[in-house]
Structure 1
Amino acid sequence: MPGPLSLSFDTVAQGGKRALARALSDIEANDGHPDVARLLDEAATEARAHVVGLTGPPGVGKSTLTNALIRHWRSEGQSVGVVAVDPSSQISSGALLGDRTRLDTDPTDQQVFVRSMAARDRLGGLSDEALAAIILMRALFDRVLVESVGIGQSEADIAFAADSIVLCIQPGSGDSLQFMKAGVMELPDIVIVTKADMGSPARRARADVEGALSLALRKQQDWSVPVLLASAQDGTGLQDLVTALDAHFAHLVSTHSLTTQRDRQARQWMHDRIRRKFGQIGLKLSQFDRWHDSGLALFESERKSHEDLLRRLTDNS
């Protein structure tokens, strides 16, 4: 039986950035621990932030947009948590680039917290540790911004975590044509074409994306995905993005879709965790759904399911 970690949501909430950093390190080092499950279950019930996911290929300008959104939200007095996901080191498995070096934030500002996290072995872009960090930070900040690793067409894990997904593409890269055949257009709630100062190539990319969206199956049939133009060079487009994000979040709330979407995301994430650990047969044998449907909290249901499956495998060996 693992020893206690003394993790408390109240302690994290009252302890500022240092307490949050310590809690995230404990979560990374103690996956499946009862105290970690309890902390994350409590955080899940306290969710208050709008979680925004930025995805798209490398070099498209996600970090530039992240910086701009942080500055905008802080100017309005809102607190901001950032999960910046980077490629993994093949040696240490840690974050290879360290997005904090690319984000221009004030380290003394207690209302901004940036955590660089490795993608680890996740082709979809978000590790279990990153998703757990989002759950915790969602309960502590007004906005949570997730900048994913940017590996291209296979990057779909952002759909497990974000309330609003922003897909970034750049003109002249061929991205928009790739997305037409990749199924990526089923994911975003907002699309933004960066480097709009390029002129006609940006407008062409926008038209290509609008065409791809018209062919895609949509997760929200009652939401029309806006395709926006933005430029870091002249500063255009940020207000349009902020307005679109606020409109999408208001849409989720007004249609009572937010809770349903988050519940579906959490269940899909847990099914994916179980499948990766125990395979498709393990998922079929898992008691997770039965325990969770009976009222047991999300992470505690997954923890019990994990222990139960390990016990069965041990008994049959």
Structure 2
Amino acid sequence: MSPQRPHIDVAALLRFERKSIAAALNLLEDRRPARQAHALVLLDELTSSPTPAHIVGITGPPGVGKSSLIARLIEIAAREDRRLAVVAVDPSSKVSGGALLGDRGRMQVPPHAPVYIRSFAARDRLGGLSREAFAAVFLLRHLCDVVIVETVGVGQSETDIAHIADTVVLVVQPFSGDVLQFIKAGVMEIPDILAINKADDEALARKAMADVKAALSLERQAWSRPVLAVSAATNLHLDELDAAISAHHHHLLTNATLPTQRAEQTLAWATSEVLHEVGRRGLLTLGGPEGVKRYWDQQPAQWSALHRLDDLLRSLSWHQPRTE
């Protein structure tokens, strides 16, 4: 017998009640097939509501101070009474698969502020976003003004964050050589804003800013990417960072690129889910990402349709038996 669907009060979610948000995210993290199906139904129910949230990805190497920086951004959002959620992606325990660091302990939420923080394990994706974290962002963007996604900052994270965030902030520190490493790795193409944290030493901060600006000097983009020297410890230029994040959101809205970007984000996640459910051969049978898009666009309940892929593949004369 399939487990009964947990009662999730959608109205309470839209009122940003923490208990309901926690229950919904617990449902998303439940890996039992029936519960996963219920979670997708919930996402379908939320798609009729507005999606005002600005998704901000904050990435960078470990130890650069991302969590401390986010804590300061939480304070600014609370001051302006903005609804804000933080999805903090931590390394996974090899034993339990759970999050290890628990970033929530480093982020203090002002009393009565409309802020919700949740840690997710990276699971089998080195530095990247797990399926559960992706789903959480899709749910939270219907409930918030801003969703901040923090990654562990190694391996897959920079690529994944570009697939889920409207605005990507890359955080580095001036004395570690991170800037030159990212330039060599091509990571500098991904962020919309660059923040040099721990910039209390002005000479080191100026050198790091010069390196970054030199790397960006040949760019010809509609958005001129700001490079900011900040300090979470002393609140240096944090209001300017918050303003730059808002300015990029305004840029996306003004240029009408946000709807296209959101559609691409959703398709990327749906394609990833298809690959997980039916494998590479199944994805190719559907026609690759373009085939997923055609299938997706035809479905009145798009998220729930991801659990009907086996039936579709049978109709296409191919079915991969499931192995328990």
Q: TM-score, normalised by structure 1?
A: 0.89
Residue 102 of structure 2 corresponds to residue 98 of structure 1: yes
Map of 1:27 onto structure 2: 28
Conserved? CA contact 2:167–2:192, under 8 Å: yes
Q: Which amino acid aligns with 1:313?
A: Q
Structure 1 residues 74 and 100: alpha-carbon distance in aligned structure 2, compared to 1, 3 A threshold: same
Whole-Å Cα distance in 2 between the matches of residues 96 and 309 of structure 1?
38
Conserved? CA contact 2:174–2:205, under 8 Å: yes
SS at match of 2:109: coil
Whole-Å Cα distance in 2 between the matches of residues 44 and 210 of structure 1?
40
Whole-Å Cα distance in 2 between the matches of residues 222 and 280 of structure 1?
36
Q: Deviations over 1:93-115 (max 9, x none)?
A: 00001111111124x52611110
Whole-Å Cα distance in 1 between the matches of residues 47 and 238 of structure 2?
30
Map of 1:177 onto structure 2: 180
Q: Deviations over 1:160-207 (max 9, x none)?
A: 211111000111211111111212112111001111112222111112
Structure 1 residues 307 and 227: alpha-carbon distance in aligned structure 2, compared to 1, 3 A threshold: farther
How far does residue 299 in structure 1 lie from its aligned partner after superposition?
1.6
Map of 1:260 onto structure 2: 260
Map of 2:225 onto structure 1: 225
Give aligned-pair identity as a percent. Answer: 45
Map of 1:74 onto structure 2: 78
Map of 2:321 onto structure 1: 314
Conserved? CA contact 2:9–2:20, under 8 Å: no
How far does residue 67 in structure 1 lie from its aligned partner after superposition?
0.5
Write the mapping of 1:277-288 to structure 2, written as runs, cut at 5 A: 277-286=277-286, 288=292
Whole-Å Cα distance in 1 between the matches of residues 37 and 277 of structure 2?
18
Q: How many residues align?
A: 311
Larger mean CA deviation between 224-233 and 23-32 belongs to: 23-32
Cα RMSD, aligned residues only:
2.4
Residue 20 of structure 2 corresponds to residue 13 of structure 1: no
Runs (4+) of structure 1 moved beyond 6 Å? Answer: none
How far does residue 228 in structure 1 lie from its aligned partner after superposition?
0.8
Which of 100, 119, 122 lines up with 1:119 in the alignment? 122
Q: Which amino acid aligns with 2:28?
A: I
Q: Which amino acid aligns with 1:101?
A: G
Which of 61, 84, 97 lines up with 1:57 in the alignment? 61
Conserved? CA contact 2:40–2:304, under 8 Å: yes
How far does residue 295 in structure 1 lie from its aligned partner after superposition?
4.4
Structure 1 stretches of 5 or more lacking a match?
none
Q: Deviations over 1:5-36 (max 9, x none)?
A: 14452243347101110111111104663321
Map of 2:90 onto structure 1: 86
Q: TM-score, normalised by structure 2?
A: 0.88
Whole-Å Cα distance in 2 between the matches of residues 214 and 127 of structure 1?
34
Q: Which amino acid aligns with 1:13?
A: L
Structure 2 stretches of 5 or more lacking a match?
none
How far does residue 146 in structure 1 lie from its aligned partner after superposition?
1.1
SS at match of 1:196: coil
Q: Which amino acid aligns with 1:266?
A: T
Map of 2:190 onto structure 1: 187
